[in-house]
Amino acid sequence: MFITDDPKGKVYQDLLDFAFSVCDQFIVVIRKDINITKDASAVLESLAPFLIAKREQFEWPGTRLGTGRDYFGREAEPAIVYYFKTDHEAKRILLEVSNSLHSWMQPNLPEDLSFIKNQNPWLINSSHESVSYFETEDKDEIEKIMNIEDLQVRTANSIKNNIPQVYTDDSPNMKCIFCEKKFKEGDTVPESNASEIYFVCLNCMDNGLTVCNEDGKIFNEQLVNKDYLIIDKIQILKIEESDLLEYITNKFINMEEGGGVCSKKCFNSLYINDCIMHLQTYLALVSMDKESTSDLTNMIKGYKNIENILMNKINELKTYLSY
């Protein structure tokens, strides 16, 4: 479950209250490549009574510095990860020195305040990327997280399906397609426009209905027979021994959750559109002068008439789209 907006003020406080009640440890990180101010050092000093361990690490929940070498092959320095007990007094300090989750960033504070429950990351926070998420399957915990007032969360599923998005903005032209626009199963959600932006509010998110990724129709995902979602005609574009569309085809053959589409027709349009996009990417790659890091791209670059071959296949694929 992802947090989509920086928890600030009261929300930050409620979130910390809950995290401290669930978790036994929290961590903060000091990266050696970014300076820290006196304030950041003072925070570490005041938390010292609750310190459990201090380790040099190349990775910690949510962030990875890599294998110890940077892009240029230079040796990188590990960061220092501080592990603390979730003591009530420690919480008071975290609330006093900061007013939001994403403000845990050098130079003014240590980085990436995150929480650990029984040795497992529970709330992971990468302030630089403004990404925070919970790792929990516990129904009771999930319910309590959802009940933190004004905390903006999205499930992984709602992010993967991408539309409808849960926006954090509550400007007056944001309209929930269910409770405000009263769209029903079978209706098609129009494109958002300047006067109305369509989304699904948190209350309506778990109503069992989904918006089709291909045609925008509202459907019940439970009622779609996934066995029926198969490719009508597998598309192939062979260059030498390689099928340029194999990657897309395999993705659709092995797709377990149906791709967020309402019907076999939409499943096939999504497949054809993905094939087109994939070939357009190849078309862009072969017309670049620079040598690619991919052997396949370099091979097809040298292939006679490759641009025409790609264009012809793209045009053929477009004729299969029936709208």
List contacts with Zn ion (CB under 5 A): 176, 178-179, 201, 204, 212, 214-215, 217, 262, 266
Q: Using N-to-C axis directions, what is the helix angle for 38-47 and 88-97, rounded to 10°?
A: 170
Q: For 109, which DSSP code?
A: S
d(C-alpha 236, C-alpha 244), whole Å: 7
252 vs 282, which CB is nearer to Zn ion?
A: 252
Instruction: Report the nearest approach of Zn ion to the CB of residue 204 (Å).
Output: 3
Beta carbons of 120 and 62 less than 8 angstroms apart = no
* C-alpha dihedral, 133 to 136 to 137 to 138, nearest 10°: -130
196 vs 215, which CB is nearer to Zn ion?
A: 215
12 vs 252, which CB is nearer to Zn ion?
A: 252
Instruction: Report the nearest approach of Zn ion to the CB of residue 147 (Å).
Output: 17
121 vs 259, which CB is nearer to Zn ion?
A: 259
Instruction: Report the nearest approach of Zn ion to the CB of residue 260 (Å).
Output: 9
Cβ partners under 8 Å of residue 271, min gap 6: 231, 235, 248, 249, 252
Cβ partners under 8 Å of residue 203, min gap 6: 176, 179
Q: For 228, which DSSP code?
A: G
188 vs 242, which CB is nearer to Zn ion?
A: 188
Closest to 94 in 3D by CA, of 34, 5, 23, 35? 23
207 vs 315, which CB is nearer to Zn ion?
A: 207
Q: For 39, which DSSP code?
A: H
Instruction: Report the nearest approach of Zn ion to the CB of residue 4 (Å).
Output: 16
82 vs 199, which CB is nearer to Zn ion?
A: 199
A 10 A CB-CB count for 257 gives 12
Instruction: Report the nearest approach of Zn ion to the CB of residue 140 (Å).
Output: 24
Instruction: Report the nearest approach of Zn ion to the CB of residue 250 (Å).
Output: 22
Instruction: Report the nearest approach of Zn ion to the CB of residue 151 (Å).
Output: 17
d(C-alpha 158, C-alpha 138), whole Å: 18
